[in-house]
Structure 1
Amino acid sequence: MNTPHPVPSRATSHEQFGSKLLAGTLMTLLLSCLPIYLLLWLIGIISGPMTAAFTVTAALLASLIPWIHKTYGPRPQGKTILTAYMFLVGFVILWFIPASGSWTALLIYMALSLVYLHTGTSIVGTAAALGIAIIHTVFNPYISSQPVFDKIVMFVVFLMVGFAGITVCMMGRRMVGELQEGQRGMASLLRDVQGSVKGLEAFGQQLKDNAVETDRIGRELAVSFAEIAKGMESQAASVSDINGSIHDSGAFVASIGTSTADMMRVSERTSAVIEAGKGHMASLQSDVSRVSGMMDTTYASMETLRMQSEQISTVLQSIQAIARQTSLLALNAGIEAARAGEHGRGFAVVAQEIRKLSSGAEESTAQITDILTRIQHQTGVVSGQILQGREAVGTIRSSGSEVGGLFAQLLQEAQSVSERSSSIASMLEQLEERAKAMAQEAGSVSAVTEQTNASVEEINASLDEQSARTGRIAASLGELEELTAQLSRMLTQHE
């Protein structure tokens, strides 16, 4: 069952404007007829009683116009009442001024009734004009005396103007309906665009927060690697000290080898030298322990770097996903803007710029991901080298322990140097070989330390580049935020 449409209690703004225009026209027409009647009376065409009657009638009709407009103008039925009153005024004017040109007033009234674009009002106006014409043709002696052909032409013109007015009203109402439908569609589109803009603002803020967090992590990594670099410099200095100690030990062993023949006479001095050798070995073992601790610290720092790099990779994956979603949203917005036609052209340009910005952000995150991948690879290489260094340090510590045992044995054998001189020479040869091996291992540790320093410098450079890229991403997000705010202002102004 169809529900009847509710009758509006108030006229539309268009109808109220038409009623105001109609009331003003009627008032002007009535007031302009007064000097015309006065002139006709002065030249003797119209009698005095006729002039007085028209003046009283015109004044009465003019005084009712403001009351009718104030009472019925804001109401829906005001257009019908004012139209009927307009033709009543025309009837009076035509009765008192029965000239052939007076018929033009009825045509003007029929045209004025079109201001409402209402078919019913136009039909009422046409019927009123025909009724007035029939009444004057029958009862007005001035008009009934006109030729029949003129009367027929008059009625035909009224009918043509009436049908034309009705047709114009129907077409106008249809055009107004289509325009209102288009406005409703535009309003719906604007609401959708506003929703998209709000979502884009939220997305931009989230992406900006992620960029800030990425920049913070990068700065923390830079600080960590700076500390690692300091530790590696200290480690390099320690390795240099170890190398010096090993070379000193080699020179000392060579000196013992050349002095084996005099060992019998300098046994006491040999004991003292052995005691000094034990002190050097204790210092060497202490240095080796310190290097081992530094190696452990460096390895833990590299593991921390690896985990933080993985966290950054996770954040960058989120940024890439967000950038792809932004590109899809911008593409959808461009499609909606293309559907909007001329009104959406400006927004289509904005959507294209957003797609470019999101593509740039996605490329930047891809480059950062590539840099982090290289960092992770270098971290793995450095960690492996540190493990090798730890093994070398363990070997050095083992060798140091063995050398300490040899020194103890030398101290015990110093009391019987003469009987065991050949044995001491053999032991010195072994000691020299071990010193050479220790020198080679110390050189390997030095090379590993240099490689580690180079890797740390590369990581620091990569982190600086990552920080710069993050700054560019933040700047791009600032531009995106500004464009979004500008689009919001444009939509607000359009509303």
Structure 2
Amino acid sequence: MKVFKNFTTQLLAWILVTSFITGGAVGFITLQLTELELAKGQVMLVGTAVALLISVLGGGVIYLIARRPLKAIELASDKAVEVGNGDLTVVFASETTSDRSEMGRLLLSMDNMVEHLREQGTNMRYTADQLTGSAQEIAAAVQEGNTAGESIRSAMNALNKMLEDNVNATYSSMDLLGAVARTMENIRKEMGSALESASEMQQEAESGKGLASTSVDAMHAIAGKVEQSSTLNSQLTEKTGEISRITDVISDISAQTNLLALNASIEAARAGEHGRGFAVVAAEVKKLAEQTANSTQEITDLIVDVKRLVGDTSSSMANVKAEVETGVGLVEKAGGAFATIHSSANEVYSHVHSVDALLDESRGQIDSVVTNSAGIVGMVEEASRYATEVTSAASQQAASLGEVNGAMTELVRVAESLQNETEQMKTEV
């Protein structure tokens, strides 16, 4: 826009300079017309001089009739007629003419006058030639000026059209930028909601990360308890094995006791009345041995059940341990996932915050662009006003050049007429 404004200023300056030159041309034409009027005056002066010369010659003839031969008078009269016809190479006095007589002085004076007229005719011819050439050059320049003015008017009209299109396009751009600004404002509101959601997701991820860490610790504690229970089950299995061995010993002792009681009963029976008390004791011992055997069997059955339960418990503990280890791995993976989610949530929050900041910055830039566009519209309208002024000035200049062209046409006609008249004058001896 600055370049265009400089171009417009330079164009106005060119038109002013051209107008100045045109004014100078008008002044030059006026001067040449003045000189032409002077030249015409000189021609009239020459005619007057010739008329006076003829009158003088007539008077001289009358005067010389009484004093000179008629032949010399007729010769001078014929030469005067030639001078009147434009022949300025005529010589009145001869080499033998004496300046002592009145006729001789008259002829010499007429030769001096003819020589002066010849010099004036040569100068007028040179002036007419120069005037004709200058007039033709100025006429060509005026024609070129008319052509240039027409080109300038066409260019200015096209420029005005282009500036109007630019103004309309700029207004359209401003409308589009306004729509973009409104859209970005809506996006900014949505980004505000996204920013809140990202913040909540960040907090939830932080909480999940903490819960995952707590779960991992709890699973490790459970794994420790399961390991302790497995150890206790192993110890319990060992103890039940020892109890089983003890019950086996007791069972053996009970069987032997039962066998001894049976033998004692047999021996008591053999003893008769003396062995009755011993038989009673032997019966009680046998009874106790049977009870011991039954109790030992029950204990053995219980130990078998305990071993089975301990085995089942050990298997369950092993399964629990495996599940706990799997759970620990899963919880650790969940913890890693929560850590990743937390990191991603931080990145999302950062990106959303950056986008929100960029939207603020973009909104500011759009507002700046709209403001600058309004300034551009003002400058374009000002440039359009300058272009209109240039077109008006070019039209005025074209009108002035038309007047100058008319004056130059008249000047060329008068100069050519003067040139034709001076060419009819014979000035070379």
**TM norm structure 2:** 0.38
**Which fold has the larger relative contact order, with Cα–Cα distance below 8 Å and residues 6 or more apart in sequence?**
2
Structure index of larger Rg: 2
